[in-house]
Amino acid sequence: MSPLQGCLLLSAALFSVGLVIALARSNAILVLLGIELMLNAANLNFIAFWRFHSGAAPATGVIFVLFAIAVAAAEAAVGLALVIALYRHQKNLRLQEATRLRG
Amino acid sequence: MLGSGILQGLLVTAKNFVGSFHDPARYTTLEYPEVKPALPEAYRNFPFLVCDNATDPLGTLRCVACQICEKECPPQCIYIEKSRDKKPDATGKPQIYPAVFAIDTSVCMSCQICVEVCPFDAIKMDQVFEVATTDRYAALLLDRGQLTKPNTYFHTIHPTEAAEVDARLAADRQAAEEKARVAALAKAKAPAAPQAPAAPVAKRDQTPESAP
Amino acid sequence: MIAAALTTDSFLERLPVLARDTVTGRLPESWRWMAGSLLEIIAILAGFGLLFAYLTLAERKILGRIQNRPGPNRTGWFGLLQPFADGVKALTKEDVVPAGADRVLHFLAPVVLVAVSLLGFAVLPFGRHLVAVELDTAVLYFFAAGTATELAVFMAGWASHNKYSLLAAMRALAQLISYELPLLLSVVPVVLVAGTLSTTKIVAAQGGWSLGFVPHWHVFTPWGAAGFVLFMVAALAESNRSPFDLPEAESELIAGHLTEYSGFKYALFFMAEYFGMCALSGMAVTLFLGGWGAPLAQLEWIPSYAWFTAKLLVLLLGFIWIRATLPRLRLDQLMKFAWKFLVPLTLLNLANAAGWSLTAGWTGPLQLVRWAVALALVAVPFVVLGRTLSAGSAPRTYRFA
Amino acid sequence: MTFTFLILAVIILGSALAAALRPNLIHCALLLVVSWLGVAGFYLWAGAEFVAFAQVLVYVGALSMVVLFAVLLTRQSRAELRVDAPETRRAVWAVIAGVAVSGVIGAAVFATKWDPAPVTAPEVTVRGLGLELMGAHAAALLLLGVLLTAALLGAVVLAAPDRPEKEEKS
Amino acid sequence: MNATPLANPSSGAHVRSVPGDLPGDLMEVSMGPHHPSTHGVFRMIVTLDGETIVRLKPVFGYLHRNHEKLAENTSYLGSMPYTDRLDYLNSMTNNWAYARAVEQLAGIAVPERAEYVRVILAELTRLLNHTCLAGFLMQDCGCSGTPLMYAFREREKILDLFESLSGSRMMCNYQRFGGCRVDPSAAWLAAAQQLVDGYGPFLDEFEALLTGNEILLARTQGVGRLSAALAINAGVTGPMLRATGVNYDLRKVDGYGVYPRFQFRIPLGEHGDVYDRYMIRILEMRESLAILRQALAGLPAGPIMNPAAKLRGFRPKAGEAYGRIEGPKGEIGFHLVSDGGPNPWRYHVRAPSFINLTILEDLCLGHTVADAVIILGSIDIVLGEVDR
């Protein structure tokens, strides 16, 4: 198994764990954290390809990850603000109960 | 401007830092066990009993077990038992003496009221403050023997007050002798006359012992 | 110049490196790197461990003198053995863990804190030849390494199962989020002007003297002076020192996140606080005070690490002095101070530094203009923002009946 | 495949899995911090120093704080930190989805013929990175700045208490 | 983690397990009785929303010693040393207030020299109390001991004076019915004069250290505002009351003792916040210095005790009396009812600390924990007097 394959498998596994957390847990914060984990898995891929795959421009992978981290930060900020707003409305963080917008 | 107050404060602390090295007014710590504090003469701690003769402390106690201090003590830390017999006091007059005189220093609050009410100048305030002990009960209950200290000691700790007391006592004694002499003369003159009452001891209710 | 060249690489200067090489030289080739690193780690641990020990003593002594009392002076000559007595006491004291505590986190918090607070030392250039790890991204590494400290404080506060500790944990989080920003932003101008994130290169960029006696330290430029002050203020907050010691505010929260700690764990917290203080002061020396550079060319014969240590000690004394003087801020004031005062000032300072480096070519009278503009860019916002910050609170005059 | 990589993989996956299973919200958050640190370690191992430190700064330094803050702000008692275990049905479906995703990706990874990996990491200096960001990706950088500002403002607006409602309550 | 079980786990919904009627976001913290800033064994049950106080319940009585009932079973003289222990910082003024009550009850006149000495000692006590308070308050604000140590450095000098006069530093037991126990010597008066001369520079230094400090201004201004109306309704007295702008000082109102002979001013605040309370005390200290200078200069010769006063077997005629003076913390008064016996039939203390403390919750609501600490500090309580 080449290093690239190892990295990709690690990334896939991390993505799956993130997915499981996001799907199975009902707490909004945990769901958000699961999504962050999935983002991290994607970033892992960028770095893996940048490092172990020839042909890419020298810094593209790194720059992609930097952008992704920045976007993730923005996403987390907004997401947690939503969590707090959600909490203020229904006094808990159970996403199943956040159905007010359903028609 | 923001920060000027803070800078002013920093200046004060810096001044104190430097001052603590050369200015005794800014460095007031006494390193206690090595350097003993200079106690003012008025300093009071726990009471002690005055005796006139250091060689026979219990025999020359001024206390006549009148129990006024026991009664007046606010926290009631004094316990006195009168003797059944009488012993001659310093003037040679037979007096009741305290068979038991105990002060519970764990209760005593050093208020000095016993000293103020004592008509005999028998109880005074001590200056020993290093009274720490590992025993909470027996060691803090001082008995007659532990409480008794000679008049010379009283002179070393409260010289002014002791001199006054001695002068007053000497005057009292002289007056008593004078009176006794007069009474003896009168008795000689009128053998049938009834026995004169013993010279009343100077009441000191209105003259606190520290009056100028 | 020749004399300088001779003295800058004197025997004393190279002594620590020589000592390391003598030891590692006896080892087989493949072990040398590992052994060298290990030696560096031991040297840093021993050096700063000793500094920590005597800093606690110095703090108590200086605080004592400022407060007109002697400070600890019973253990050993002038109390010199006090830190060791304290250490023995901390080691032998009972380790109490509250019944409801999260035992794992309660144990991990001090360990993580000490470990993390030590990481920053790796990239500090203590001397001309003394830097444990040469990193291209050293400054970034330093601040990344420091981020976990407040996380550990949070762990301690939360795991203690104590309401005061929990309040302290919340305060610690709020404080970190607020002060990480000005701390980083006050460093950016230096990176901008020096054009590098490497600490050694930043120190090298501050070498040399103008007019023969003014060193090219960043603190001697308008933006650098402002940046230095801003950095130190944020560093005070980051290391939880008075007047920003809210997480362990003694008069309000008993001991905050430390309330339920005793014995050696408590000592570890203490140690981490001082390590953090040393690391941040070391960074300030590196970024603004010319690192290991001597203030005068004539003094270059003194080894560079001595200069670094001297500057470090001066900053640490400043920490102690401030602690002895100032009252504590309240949480909302702390936040207001960070967001409404420090952050705008650091941003303006960044612009100021950018302007400074753009106008580097100006000479003659233009140079004066450059200084005037830069000074104005520091002073005017300070006065204006300071006025708005302290609006509504001023000394009052009183009437008498 | 080096020993370091394996250890990092164990840290990343182990803590993420543990986070998926722990009932305590704070523990989950802290375990995920460990996972993020592992990812940073991975970047370091791969030679992307700058990204690794950025990851630590953003995730451990900022994100974890915000998450913990949110946890504490939305906590009503200590007991409430204990989140219910996932419902079995949801959990089973989630695991099936997760396994399916990794299965597909894994199969693709093994099916693809990869070029041999370069021996050394591509040389990326901070200076080079900065030049590239300001050069080729300047537009993206600007957009990112706008996005972050917008996110900041949006977060403030979302999280700020609705004043009328608060007055109603009190 | 030792989690409390959910109140109703079967319902599936999250049910709050916070006891009582607390809304979910609130936290109840019990500050004290062992807390660094409660000035003794005092307890505040604080309900917090975040760090903001929404409810505050003071709990006291941990230092209750049955003072009033003890006094009803002790001779009039025997209560004097107990009054030392009410507000143990201010034994001289406590003594004086009690002596005044008994003197009114029994109609004992006090010689002029004794009145002067009482004024001197009361103003020294005021200096002592306000200096300590300033130090404690700054400690509550988070200063690492420095102002407190400076305050204590000066306080020690006053205590030295008390000790050399009365024999004890804090439990002076100095006043007697009809005068004072000891006549101050010329040397003592010279020492007092020296202290008074040195106190102004100390106050200047203390103010330089802190009064203009931006952090202190931000911490104390606008915090714990007390309105004049509430202060009057609650019976608040002393610097607390004057900080709200109410001109009420017993030294002027009653003009007891020889106070009318001295020139001094009453500083008044406007906002009634912590800063005003702090500054009023600083300014009062300067006025006290003025009084002390005048009193030391005008001290007449003569007896220190009324020769007609009895020490032992003291039995005032039946009746009642209320003696009050302006103590450093406010109006300290003793209400005595005599049935002609050797003990008072009823003995009541109007303790300023206790009455000033009643408005604590009103001051603290809406402020943070950190403010509660300094508000409590600015009220200036001594638990010996609160609990009695």
Per-residue pLDDT, averaged over E199-204, amounts to: 90
How far is it, in rounded angstroms, from Cα A98 to Cα A31? 13
Eight-state DSSP code of residue D56: I
Amino acid letter at C316? L
What integer pLDDT is reported at residue B192 of this predicted model? 55
Phi, psi of E214 (to 5 degrees): -60, -40
What integer pLDDT is reported at residue D118 of this predicted model? 62
How far is it, in rounded angstroms, from Cα C67 to Cα B17? 7
Contact status of C69 with chain B (Cβ, < 8 Å): yes
Per-residue pLDDT, averaged over C258-277, amounts to: 87
Q: How far is D42 from chain E (nearest CA, A)?
A: 32
Contact status of A89 with chain D (Cβ, < 8 Å): no
Pairwise CB contact (< 8 Å): C392 & E222: yes
What integer pLDDT is reported at residue E129 of this predicted model? 92
Find the residue in B nearest to E309 (Cα).
B206
Q: How far is B4 from chain C (nearest CA, A)?
A: 11
Find the residue in B nearest to C324 (Cα).
B13
Q: Are C135 and C141 in contact (CB under 8 A)?
A: yes
Q: Are C185 and C348 in contact (CB under 8 A)?
A: no
Q: Is B136 helix (H, G, I), strand (E, B) or coil?
A: coil
Pairwise CB contact (< 8 Å): C326 & E213: yes
How far is it, in rounded angstroms, from Cα D38 to Cα D18? 14
Neighbours of chain B (3+ CB pairs under 8 A): C, E
Question: Domains in chain A: how many in total?
Answer: 1
What integer pLDDT is reported at residue D82 of this predicted model? 58
Pairwise CB contact (< 8 Å): B40 & E82: no
Q: How far is B14 from chain C (nearest CA, A)?
A: 7
Pairwise CB contact (< 8 Å): D76 & E24: yes
How far is it, in rounded angstroms, from Cα E374 to Cα E355? 18
What integer pLDDT is reported at residue E196 of this predicted model? 92
D28-56: b (≥16 Cβ within 10 Å) or e? bbbbbbbbbbbbbbbbbbbbbbbbbbbbb
Find chain A residues with C-beta within 8 A of E14's C-beta: 91-92, 94
> Under 8 Å CB-to-CB from C130, ≥6 apart: which residues?
C16, C17, C292, C304, C305
β-strands E179-180, E267-268 pairing: unpaired
Q: How far is A6 from chain E (nearest CA, A)?
A: 38
What integer pLDDT is reported at residue C331 of this predicted model? 84
Tokens 């753009």 belong to residue? C358
User: Would the pLDDT of C208 be above 50?
Assistant: yes
Percentage with pLDDT > 90 across chain C: 2
Find the residue in C nearest to E377 (Cα).
C251
> Under 8 Å CB-to-CB from C27, ≥6 apart: which residues?
C35
What integer pLDDT is reported at residue C195 of this predicted model? 82
Cis-peptide into E33, omega within 30 deg: yes
Find, among E166, E62, C186, the residue nearest to B112 by Cα. E166
Pairwise CB contact (< 8 Å): C177 & D127: no
What integer pLDDT is reported at residue A102 of this predicted model? 56
Q: How far is C195 from chain D (nearest CA, A)?
A: 8
Q: Residues in chain E whose beta carbon is closer than 8 A to a beta carbon of chain D? A: 1, 3-6, 14, 16-18, 24-25
Phi, psi of D66 (to 5 degrees): -65, -40
What integer pLDDT is reported at residue D165 of this predicted model? 45
Contact status of A27 with chain D (Cβ, < 8 Å): yes
Find the residue in A nearest to D166 (Cα).
A88
Q: Note the pLDDT tens digit of each residue in C169-186.
A: 888 888 877 888 888 889
Percentage with pLDDT > 90 across chain A: 0
Q: How far is A91 from chain E (nearest CA, A)?
A: 9
Tokens 């005008």 belong to residue? E298
What integer pLDDT is reported at residue E7 of this predicted model? 39
Q: Is residue A40 part of a domain?
A: yes
Q: Is residue A55 part of a domain?
A: yes
Structure tokens at E322: 């209320």
Chain D interface disruption, residue of C102, C119, C136, most D CBs within 10 A: C136
Pairwise CB contact (< 8 Å): B9 & C326: yes
What integer pLDDT is reported at residue E176 of this predicted model? 87
What integer pLDDT is reported at residue B201 of this predicted model? 45
Contact status of B17 with chain C (Cβ, < 8 Å): yes
Q: Note the pLDDT tens digit of each residue in E265-312.
A: 899 988 888 999 999 999 999 999 999 999 999 888 888 888 887 777
Instruction: Look up the ipTM and state it.
Output: 0.80
How far is it, in rounded angstroms, from Cα E160 to Cα E180? 18
A47-79: b (≥16 Cβ within 10 Å) or e? bbbbbbbeeeeebbbbbbbbbbbbebbbbbbbb
Categorize the per-residue pLDDT at B197 as very low, low, confident or very high, splitting at 50, 70 and 90. Answer: very low
Chains A and B touch (3+ CB pairs under 8 A): no
Find, among B62, B100, B102, the residue nearest to B84 by Cα. B100
Give the helix/strand (H/E) hosting B94: strand B94-104
Q: How far is A97 from chain E (nearest CA, A)?
A: 10
Other C-beta atoms closer than 10 Å to the C-beta of E260 total 10
What integer pLDDT is reported at residue D168 of this predicted model? 40
- The reply to whether CATH 1.20.120.1200 applies to domain D1-85 is yes
Contact status of A6 with chain D (Cβ, < 8 Å): yes
The structural domains of chain B, with segments of one domain joined by +, span 40-212
SS3 for chain E is: CCCCCCCCHHHCCCCCCCCCCCCCCEEEEEECCCCCCCCCCCEEEEEEECCEEEEEEEECCCCCCCHHHHHHCCCHHHHHHHHHCCCCCCHHHHHHHHHHHHHHHHCCCCCHHHHHHHHHHHHHHHHHHHHHHHHHHHHHCCCCCHHHHHHHHHHHHHHHHHHHHHCCCCCCCCEECCEECCCCCHHHHHHHHHHHHHHHHHHHHHHHHHCCCHHHHHHHCCCCCCCHHHHHHHCCCCHHHHCCCCCCCHHHHCCCCCHHHCCCCCEECCCCCHHHHHHHHHHHHHHHHHHHHHHHHHCCCCCCECCCCCCCCCCCCCEEEEEEEEECCEEEEEEEEECCCCCCCEEEEECHHHHHHCCHHHHHCCCEHHHHHHHHHHHCCCHHHHHC
Q: Is residue A101 part of a domain?
A: no
Structural domain for A9, as ranges: 3-96
What integer pLDDT is reported at residue A100 of this predicted model? 67
Find the residue in B nearest to E73 (Cα).
B74
User: Would the pLDDT of C246 be above 70?
Assistant: yes
Higher-scoring residue by pLDDT: E129, C263: E129
Closest in A19, A27, A72 to D97, CB measured: A19
What integer pLDDT is reported at residue B199 of this predicted model? 46
User: Would the pLDDT of B196 be above 60?
Assistant: no
Provide the CATH number for the domain formed by B40-212 in this structure: 3.30.70
Pairwise CB contact (< 8 Å): A94 & E14: yes
Higher-scoring residue by pLDDT: E32, B27: B27
Q: Are E268 and E245 in contact (CB under 8 A)?
A: yes
What integer pLDDT is reported at residue D76 of this predicted model? 52
Q: What are the C-alpha distances in Å from E204 to residues B128, C63, C181, E127?
A: 38, 21, 39, 14
Pairwise CB contact (< 8 Å): C327 & E143: yes
Q: How far is C207 from chain D (nearest CA, A)?
A: 21
pLDDT in tens, chain D (170 residues): 588 888 888 888 888 888 888 777 888 888 888 888 888 888 888 878 888 888 888 888 788 888 887 777 766 555 555 555 667 777 788 888 888 888 888 888 888 777 666 666 677 777 778 888 888 888 888 888 898 888 888 888 877 765 544 444 33
What integer pLDDT is reported at residue E122 of this predicted model? 92
Pairwise CB contact (< 8 Å): C155 & D30: yes
Pairwise CB contact (< 8 Å): C144 & D62: no
Structure tokens at C385: 């923002």
Q: Are E331 and E238 in contact (CB under 8 A)?
A: yes
Per-residue pLDDT, averaged over B38-47, amounts to: 88
Find chain B residues with C-beta within 8 A of C386's C-beta: 1-3
Categorize the per-residue pLDDT at C314 as very low, low, confident or very high, splitting at 50, 70 and 90. Answer: very high
Q: What are the C-alpha distances in Å from C385 to residues C45, C331, C380, D54, D125?
A: 42, 19, 8, 31, 38
What is the number of alpha carbons within 13 Å of residue B78 lying toward its C-beta? 30
Q: Are C224 and C217 in contact (CB under 8 A)?
A: yes
Q: Are E351 and E72 in contact (CB under 8 A)?
A: no
Amino acid letter at D81? L
Q: Is residue A103 part of a domain?
A: no
Closest in E1, E29, E216 to C102, CB measured: E1
Q: Note the pLDDT tens digit of each residue in C59-75.
A: 888 888 888 888 888 88
The structural domains of chain D, with segments of one domain joined by +, span 1-85, 125-160
Per-residue pLDDT, averaged over C345-369, amounts to: 85
Find the residue in A nearest to E25 (Cα).
A91
Q: Note the pLDDT tens digit of each residue in E33-47.
A: 888 777 778 888 888
Q: How far is CA C83 from the centre of its chain?
A: 21
Find chain D residues with C-beta within 8 A of C143's C-beta: 53, 57, 61
User: Looking at residue A86, which CATH number applies to its domain?
Assistant: 1.10.287.3510
Higher-scoring residue by pLDDT: D170, B40: B40
Percentage with pLDDT > 90 across chain B: 0
Chains C and A touch (3+ CB pairs under 8 A): no
Find the residue in E nearest to C106 (Cα).
E1
How far is it, in rounded angstroms, from Cα C317 to Cα E345? 63
Pairwise CB contact (< 8 Å): E1 & D80: no
- In C145-174, the residues whose Cβ lies within 8 Å of chain B are none
Contact status of E211 with chain C (Cβ, < 8 Å): yes
Per-residue pLDDT, averaged over C30-54, amounts to: 84
What integer pLDDT is reported at residue D84 of this predicted model? 59
Pairwise CB contact (< 8 Å): B1 & C326: no
Q: How far is E29 from chain C (nearest CA, A)?
A: 7
Helices (H) and strands (E) in chain C, counts: 16, 3
Pairwise CB contact (< 8 Å): D129 & A63: yes
User: pTM for this one?
Assistant: 0.83
Find chain D residues with C-beta within 8 A of C166's C-beta: 72
- In B69-108, the residues whose Cβ lies within 8 Å of chain E are 72-74
Q: What are the C-alpha distances in Å from C281 to residues C138, C286, C315, C341?
A: 16, 9, 6, 22
Neighbours of chain E (3+ CB pairs under 8 A): A, B, C, D
Per-residue pLDDT, averaged over E78-102, amounts to: 89
User: Would the pLDDT of E332 be above 50?
Assistant: yes
Pairwise CB contact (< 8 Å): B5 & E153: no
Find the residue in C nearest to B6 (Cα).
C326
Per-residue pLDDT, averaged over E119-136, amounts to: 91
Q: How far is E352 from chain C (nearest CA, A)?
A: 22
Pairwise CB contact (< 8 Å): E4 & D24: no
Q: Note the pLDDT tens digit of each residue in B108-158.
A: 988 888 888 888 888 888 888 888 888 888 888 888 888 888 888 888 888
Q: Residues in chain C whose beta carbon is closer than 8 A to a beta carbon of chain D? A: 102, 105, 135-137, 140-141, 143-145, 147-148, 150-151, 154-155, 158, 161, 166, 169-170, 173-174, 176-177, 180, 195-197
Q: Are E218 and C393 in contact (CB under 8 A)?
A: yes
Q: How far is D57 from chain C (nearest CA, A)?
A: 5
Pairwise CB contact (< 8 Å): D95 & A53: no
Question: For chain B, what is the mean pLDDT?
Answer: 81
Categorize the per-residue pLDDT at E125 as very low, low, confident or very high, splitting at 50, 70 and 90. Answer: very high
